[in-house]
A and B are shown apart, each in its own frame.
Chain A
Amino acid sequence: MSWINLSALWKIVVFGLIAGAGLPALFAGGLYSLSLGPRRARAAGASGAETDSDVLVGGSVVGMVLAVIAFLIVLAAIGWSIYEIYQIGHPAPAKK
């Protein structure tokens, strides 16, 4: 059935999921990892009503390293996909 380009369709769904949901999830994972550590436990232990207990960076070194790695992967993936799109969108002229 040539009305729907199935091959393009499934590519959009799959890569869409990977990039559109997966990358943010990785980012979220980075945030979570960033938040690990003593500072968060301390903040949580303090009075629950305090608004300055909204600490994002928990202080755990391992957590921070993992977070940075996660963020770098996200940035790299974005950079790579933009490059790919540029390549696809500017096809090289046919050789005479």
Chain B
Amino acid sequence: MLVLVVITALAFDFTNGFHDTGNAMATSIATGALGPRTAVAISGLLNFVGAFLSLAVAATIASGLVDTGKVTLTVVAAGLAGGIIWNLVTWLFGIPSSSSHALIGGVIGSTIAAAGGSAVLWHGLVSKVVLPAVLSPIIAALVAACGTWLLYRITRSLTEGARQHGFRIGQVGSACLVSLAHGTNDAQKTMGVITLALIANGTLAKGSNAPIWVIVCCALAISIGTYIGGWRVIRTLGKGLVEIESPQGMAAESASAAVILLSSSFGYSLSTTHVATGSIIGTGLGKKGAEVRWNVAGRMATAWVFTLPSAGIVGAAAYGIADGVHGTFGVVVVLILLAALGGLIYYRSRGTKVDHNNVNAEWTGTVAPTEVPAEKAAA
């Protein structure tokens, strides 16, 4: 049963990977600083490295959010299921939503279903998850807006081409940093969950740190997921929000990297998605004449507000199913349902395919670029 939970957790980590690739690489792919496949390869590698860099977030997830005494393996499995489903659904619609919140929401939901509200460490949740979630995109936007404004001012006298060229190089550096940062924050989350599971199972003592094999597996899962690439989300971030030029790309990624790395070191589990989006919007604000597609931003904000509760509901429901069909078999049932849903979503996604070929096509209002009819193009 523990094995099942660990596998599910790694599956979540995988979905986290392809959901979040965009945070680091969307701007670089959109401006052409990096080729799409190179970008995701680099991102995968750096996520792997970043996962080893800081253990603070794993500690928060494992012990700071729910009373580990009340948590059972079923709870963890159900929570993961909730998180995975939310991740897959938002991926289908190309909405960059927070994998972090999906996971936390799912675990909280299933914990409440299992043990009631008192098992949740509400104080820890608010101060280490909810508040950072709300504040971080604002801080990121601020930093990115300042950065963008500064960048354009300082390089005023450069020709357009020279500026793009120079900042493309800068973009590569900053995008790498974000991938590293993502590893420190997001891979840590899953490690925290697995540690939580291990504690719940009694394998580890309360308050332990994550064991090495956990770290390695999570690092691997997230980097492979990153490499597979979440083209849909990359597209929304790179093209749908703000039309991005190189200086903006670099400003956005630097702001994201800085905020994420700083917060990780405090043990705050952030949504890298929220931070990246905040940064991208900030660059739209910092540059005169840049357009921010507020309707897209609005859709995202709505999705975000719903993430914690929705994932929570799915997590709670998953727990209900697992508990109703007692024991290990219950968890197996949930996992089969999960796999089925996953397959369904994947199947639907093939109809409106986004991959490395069309990720940079002109934004026409929907995630998957619409084909221009031959007659219109010829006219």
User: Chain A residues with Cβ under 8 A from B159's Cβ?
Assistant: 43-44, 53-55
B180 at the interface (CB under 8 A from A): yes
Given the known interface contacts A24-B250, A24-B254, the answer about A31 and B55 at a Cβ–Cβ threshold of 8 Å is no
The number of chain A residues touching the other chain, given as a range, is 35 or more
Partner of A85, one of B53, B161, B174: B53
How many residue pairs bridge A and B at CB < 8 Å? 137
A88 contact from B54, B250, B259, Cβ within 8 A: B54
Measured CB to CB, the residues of A under 8 A from B are 2-5, 8-9, 11-13, 15-17, 19-21, 23-25, 27-29, 31-32, 34-35, 43-44, 51, 53-56, 78, 81-82, 84-86, 88-90
Task: Tell me which residues across on chain A come within 8 A of B177, comparing CB atoms.
Answer: 78
Partner of A24, one of B53, B157, B251, B265: B251
- B264 interface residue, CB < 8 Å from A? yes
B56 to A3, Cβ gap below 8 A? no
User: Which residues of chain B are within 8 angstroms of A53 by Cβ–Cβ distance?
Assistant: 159, 161
Q: How far is the CB of A39 from chain B (nearest CB, A)?
A: 11
Please classify the interface of chain A as helix (H, G, I), strand (E, B), loop, or mixed, using the class held by over half of its residues: helix
Contact partner of B158 among A4, A8, A19, A31, CB < 8 A? A31
Shortest CB–CB separation between residue A11 and chain B, in angstroms?
7
For chain B, what secondary structure do more than half of its interface residues adopt (helix, strand, loop), or is it mixed? helix
Stretch at the interface among B71-79, B143-151, B336-344, B352-360: B143-151
Q: Which of B149-204 contact A (CB under 8 A)?
A: 150-151, 154-155, 157-163, 165-167, 170, 173-174, 177, 180, 184
CA–CA, A39 and B251, complex, Å: 28
Please state if A24 and B174 are interface contacts (CB–CB under 8 Å): yes
Number of interface residues of B (CB under 8 A): 52
Instruction: Please pick, from B56, B142, B174, the residue contacting A89 in the complex, using a CB distance under 8 A.
Output: B56
A4 to B134, CA, bound (A): 12
Instruction: Give the distance to chain B from A56, nearest Cβ to Cβ, in Å.
Output: 4
Query: Contact at A20–B55, with CB atoms within 8 Å?
Result: no
Whether A9 and B262, one on each chain, are in contact in the complex, defined by CB atoms closer than 8 angstroms, is: no
List the interface of chain B (C-beta within 8 A of A): 53-56, 123, 126-127, 131, 135, 139-140, 142-144, 146-147, 150-151, 154-155, 157-163, 165-167, 170, 173-174, 177, 180, 184, 247, 250-251, 254-259, 261-266, 268
A65→B106 CA distance, assembly (Å): 54
* A94 nearest CB across to chain B (Å): 12
Which residues of chain B are near A21, meaning CB under 8 Å? 143-144, 146-147, 150, 251, 254-255
Closest CB in chain B relative to A83 CB, distance in Å = 10
Point out the residue from A31, A43, A82 that lies within 8 Å of B163, measured CB to CB. Answer: A31
By the criterion CB–CB under 8 Å, are B54 and A85 in contact?
yes
Least CB separation from A43: chain B residue: B159
B154 touches A28 (CB 8 A): yes
Q: A24-B150, A35-B158 are in contact. Are A89 and B143 (CB under 8 A)?
A: no
Q: Is the CB of A85 within 8 A of B264?
A: yes
- How far in angstroms is the closest Cβ of chain A from B320? 31
Q: Is the CB of B147 within 8 A of A25?
A: yes
**Once the chains bind, are B147 and A86 in contact (CB under 8 Å)?**
no
Verify A32–B158 contact, CB threshold 8 A: yes
- For residue B134, give the distance in angstroms from its CB to the closest CB of chain A: 10
Could you tell me the distance in whole angstroms from the C-beta of B33 to the nearest C-beta in chain A? 14
- Whether A13 touches B131, Cβ cut-off 8 Å, given contacts A85-B264, A86-B53, is no
Given contacts A16-B139, A31-B166, 6 further A-B contacts (CB under 8 A): A2-B127, A13-B139, A54-B165, A55-B162, A78-B177, A88-B265
A15: chain B residues within 8 A (beta carbon): 258, 262
Asked if A4 and B127 sit within 8 Å, CB to CB, the answer is: yes
Q: Are A17 and B146 in contact, CB atoms less than 8 angstroms apart?
A: yes
